[in-house]
Amino acid sequence: MTNEAGRPRVLRALTALLFATATATVVVEILNYLYAPSHGFGFAVRTGWALLRTLGWLLLIRQVRRDRAVARPLGLILAVTTIFAVGRLIVPRSGLPPWPGVIGFAVLFVLCVAVVALLYRHPVVRDHLVRHPNRLVLTRSGLTVQEATPRRAPVTGWLLTARIAAFTYSPLMLVPALISFGELRDRPSWLLGVLFWVGSGIAVSYAVLLCTIFLMRGKAGARRALSWLTLLVLVWDLPLCYLLLGTDGLIRDGGPLVAAAALTWFALYRAGSLSRKSTSLNNA
């Protein structure tokens, strides 16, 4: 583990900020639970998913302490999806949201924006978060654990962002699918559709894994394949959110998926622009 005392002050501040953000996520969820007018099955599933993001923030702290390059895209997608995941629980089905929840969400929003600003705008943070994961390597002295620098040219940060954003598709599909089980008492004929929804959410995780493997290796067509997969996920998931969960479910559960898809598309576009720019410079 890296010695925090010998690290730049801004990195120590970033670590403290991440701890504060993880804590704020839990506090806001507790406030939402205490002030919620009702606690149904859907509320429990959405709350559990939002609380799981605390583990994501703890993983991000570990990556920052180890100066991992993956920390920046991971922090971006965590910040974006946390805002959506927590924000959708504050607004009730009717009436105004409780003021403690609104204040807590505002604090969490500021913390998430500050995290992204430090990760992407501060030069010291950008210069330090460049290391690759450690792997077991065979050397003349035997097996040792050391940083494994990739043999191929390093991928851009935007490709890493697209990869991490795309990996959120599966859980963002499974959350509304699981909530739909609570609606089957009134609509039992939709049981097969909900089961297929759950199965498709699991299948998407494997499809994303396959696309991103080729994406990280710079294979031609990988960006296009992931773009089409993103569109397919939206076309399949959003109508089901509306049909089974109504307009409220479409906003609460479809909104985070649309945000993740938009981030994936933007990251792929930026990665493509950088690749074309690099190719034109090499040809010149």
Percent of the chain with pLDDT over 70: 82
Same domain, yes or no: 99 and 191: no
DSSP 133-179: -EEEEEETTEEEEEE---SSPPPPHHHHHHHHHHTTHHHHHHHHHHH
Residue 277 lies in a domain: no
Percent of the chain with pLDDT over 90: 30
Same domain, yes or no: 32 and 83: yes
**pLDDT at site 187:** 76
For the cut 90, the answer to whether the pLDDT of residue 245 exceeds it is: no
pLDDT in tens, 55-67: 889 999 999 998 8
Q: Among the listed ranges 134-138, 150-154, 210-214, 263-267, which one has the minimum average pLDDT value? A: 150-154
Residue 233 lies in a domain: yes
Same domain, yes or no: 95 and 172: no
**pLDDT at site 255:** 86
**pLDDT at site 221:** 87
Residues 64-78, mean pLDDT to the nearest whole number: 88
Residues 223-232, mean pLDDT to the nearest whole number: 95
Is 2 in a helix, a strand, or coil?
Answer: coil
Residue 41 lies in a domain: yes
When the pLDDT of each residue in the chain is averaged and rounded to a whole number, the result is 82
**pLDDT at site 67:** 86
pLDDT in tens, 126-151: 888 877 666 555 556 655 555 555 55
Same domain, yes or no: 6 and 63: yes
Residue 146 lies in a domain: no
For the cut 80, the answer to whether the pLDDT of residue 170 exceeds it is: yes
Residues 253-271, mean pLDDT to the nearest whole number: 90
For the cut 60, the answer to whether the pLDDT of residue 29 exceeds it is: yes
Single residue among 104, 134, 164 that ends a domain in this structure: 134
Same domain, yes or no: 221 and 117: no
**pLDDT at site 275:** 66
Q: Among the listed ranges 106-115, 127-136, 227-236, 238-247, which one has the minimum average pLDDT value? A: 127-136
Single residue among 103, 134, 165 that ends a domain in this structure: 134
Same domain, yes or no: 118 and 24: yes
Same domain, yes or no: 28 and 124: yes
For the cut 90, the answer to whether the pLDDT of residue 110 exceeds it is: yes
Residue 149 lies in a domain: no
Residue 62 lies in a domain: yes
pLDDT in tens, 42-51: 777 877 777 7
Same domain, yes or no: 125 and 188: no
More confident residue, 25 or 90: 25
- In terms of residue numbers, what domain contains 244? 155-272
Q: From CA 51, how far away is CA 82, in angstroms rounded? A: 9
Residues 163-191, mean pLDDT to the nearest whole number: 86
Categorize the per-residue pLDDT at 1 as very low, low, confident or very high, splitting at 50, 70 and 90: very low
Same domain, yes or no: 16 and 66: yes
Same domain, yes or no: 90 and 50: yes
Single residue among 79, 99, 134 that ends a domain in this structure: 134
**pLDDT at site 266:** 93
Same domain, yes or no: 172 and 256: yes
Residue 12 lies in a domain: yes
Q: Which residues contact 142 (CB under 8 A, 6 or more apart)?
A: none
Q: From CA 80, how far away is CA 177, in angstroms rounded? A: 21
Helices (H), the chain: 9-35, 41-65, 71-90, 99-121, 123-128, 157-166, 169-180, 191-216, 222-249, 255-283
Categorize the per-residue pLDDT at 206 as very low, low, confident or very high, splitting at 50, 70 and 90: very high
More confident residue, 183 or 153: 183
Residue 199 lies in a domain: yes
Q: Among the listed ranges 54-58, 103-107, 219-223, which one has the minimum average pLDDT value? A: 219-223
Nearest to 115 by CA among 2, 4, 25: 25
* Count of the separate structural domains present in the chain: 2
Same domain, yes or no: 181 and 256: yes
Per the DSSP assignment, residues forming a β-bridge with 135 are: 146
Backbone angles phi, psi at 167, to 5 degrees: -70, -10
Residues 253-267, mean pLDDT to the nearest whole number: 91
